[in-house]
Structure 1
Amino acid sequence: MEMSPLQLQIRELPDCDVIHLGGELDLFSHAGLRWACTDLLQRHHTKIVIDATRLDFCDCAGLNILINAQREAERQGGFLRLIGVHGQLARLLTVAALIDQFPPYADLRQARGLSTR
């Protein structure tokens, strides 16, 4: 089975930043997401939406990055929200009992708080 490297694209919007993920978020690739989240949070971009629509795989290392970034965003008065959760990431959130911490948002509009949940 061939590994699919992590693809990461950041889109800065007026009211939040969106990190689009694709490929595999794991022990070998999580540093890219950690760097992206740290960079945004250090620049006080505290409203972050992670689009996992194209994410093929996520392990505990990737989940740890999401948890830590969410804690820091909330500490600064913002949020980290997930959209497009499916497959391995959805299973991992369920098994780790983190669904309440990372509720699934239907789309970017809902995650930004522009429509009711």
Structure 2
Amino acid sequence: MHLIGELDLTTCDLLVTALSQAARPDRDLVIDCTRLDFIDAAGIAGLVRAARMIGHGQLRLTNMHAALAEIIDLLDLPATVPNLRHDST
């Protein structure tokens, strides 16, 4: 899956709908964030929800811009959502 543009209150429902179709319990899900420019609290909540949907599978956010990865780290999401991982560019 690829995220493009902004993941915010106005687009989060689209993400949740797409993830509910793509996510499978206990299977990894990779989301390419190369073209993701912005994320707000609603977007973060959508990603957390996706991580919970896949249970023991890993939600991997790849190619995150450093500023977006910093938000994930500041919120300490990998500690509170153990199956969420990211890398930054």
Letter in 1 for 2:71: L
Percent identity among equivalent residues? 37
Cα shift readout 1:54-77 (whole Å, capped 9, x = no counterpart): 00000110111111111120x2x4
Aligned match of 1:65 in 7, 31, 46?
A: 46
Cα shift readout 1:63-109 (whole Å, capped 9, x = no counterpart): 11111111120x2x422111011144213202211245433347xxx
Letter in 2 for 1:79: Q
Pairing 1:3-18 to 2, within 5 Å after superposition: none
1:81 matches 2:63: no
Q: What are the ranges of 5 or more consecutive residues in structure 1 without an aligned counterpart? A: 1-18, 107-117
Contact 2:8 2:42 (8 Å CA) reproduced: yes
- In 1, Cα distance between equivalents of 2:6 and 2:46: 13
Letter in 1 for 2:47: L
Pairwise CA RMSD: 2.3
Aligned match of 1:31 in 1, 10, 13?
A: 13
TM-score by length of 2: 0.79
Aligned match of 1:56 in 10, 32, 37?
A: 37
Letter in 2 for 1:84: N
- In 1, Cα distance between equivalents of 2:53 and 2:11: 21
Q: Greater RCO between the two (CA within 8 Å, min separation 6)?
A: 2
Report the CA distance shift for 1:86/1:49 in structure 2 as closer, same or farther (over 3 A).
Answer: same
Bigger CA radius of gyration: 1
Paired residue total:
85
TM-score by length of 1: 0.62
1:98 corresponds to which residue? 77
- In 1, Cα distance between equivalents of 2:66 and 2:2: 16
